[in-house]
Structure 1
Amino acid sequence: MLKEFKEFAMRGNVIDLAVGVILGAAFGKIVSSLVADIITPLIGLLIGGIDVSGLSITFGDAVLKYGVFIQTIMDFVIIAFSIFIFIKLFNKIYNREKKVEEVPPALTKEEELLTEIRDLLKSNKM
């Protein structure tokens, strides 16, 4: 059983997934910091310093912190938009590099001969 687990854990897909999860968590921290420390204060300046996270309603002993919920939604939208822009730029760069690498393959001897025959046949018909 230990041998089977070792084989399972050392498969390429499992290791790739683990690396992806770790990098995703690290990237999530970066994006969260970007939103909380840079973008949200800038948006606060643009809308007059309004902080919605402190909004709440009290019903007896229960406190409904709807401002925190609104702030979380705003954070989600900002994070989702940031990731969208990042992925869009990444795909643009990746596709540009891919287009540069795509060079039409050289013709084989047979293809060259067939092309010459085709061209000769076209020229004889006219």
Structure 2
Amino acid sequence: MLTEFKAFVSRGNVLDLAVAVIIGAAFGRIVTSLTDDIIMPVIGRIFGGLDFSSYFLKMGAVPADYTGSLDDYAALKKAGVPLLGYGEFLTVAVNFLLVAFVIFLVVRAVNRAIPKAPEQPAVVVESTEILLLREIRDALRNGRPPVV
């Protein structure tokens, strides 16, 4: 089993995938910071100083021993209050759209940078039966009996 595992890990595709996952995780953190620290505050400012992370609906009662703010999403969530955090969802959705758009731009740039190989015409290999049927058809069209 150890030999099979070594063979699996040493294949190029697995190593490429591992590098891609590590770079993807770092890229995800960068985009999260871009969304949380730059884009969402600007959008909030445009719409009147809104903080999207504080948009939520309480779906249940607040515990009696809770002493924090009733407007603090993170504190209420930590206290176990059932919340519908649509502001946080909006932030994550914008984050996803940014990641998807940047990946689209990267893939598009790579596709334009790499020259495409000229397409080769497909070579059609016909079976012997097809060739014989064509010979028979052509012989019948010309008015002579087919030679089989």
Structures share a fold, TM > 0.5?
yes
- Aligned-residue CA RMSD (Å): 2.5
What amino acid is aligned across from residue 82 of structure 2 in structure 1? Answer: L
Corresponding residue to 2:81 among 53, 63, 67: 63
Contact 2:44 2:52 (C-alpha < 8 Å) held by counterparts? no
- Cross-structure match for 1:117: none
Higher RCO (C-alpha 8 Å, min separation 6): 2
Unaligned runs of 5+ in 1: 106-126
Distance 1:2 1:95, change over 3 A: closer
> For 1:1-126, what aligned pairs fall within 5 Å after superposition?
1-54=1-54, 55-57=56-58, 58-61=60-63, 63-66=81-84, 69-98=85-114, 101-102=115-116
Q: How many residues align?
A: 101
Unaligned runs of 5+ in 2: 64-79, 120-148
Please give the secondary structure, in 1, of the residue aligned with 2:50: coil
Name whichever of 81-90 and 34-43 sits farther off: 81-90
More helix by share: 1
Structure number with larger C-alpha Rg: 2
TM-score normalised by length of structure 1: 0.65
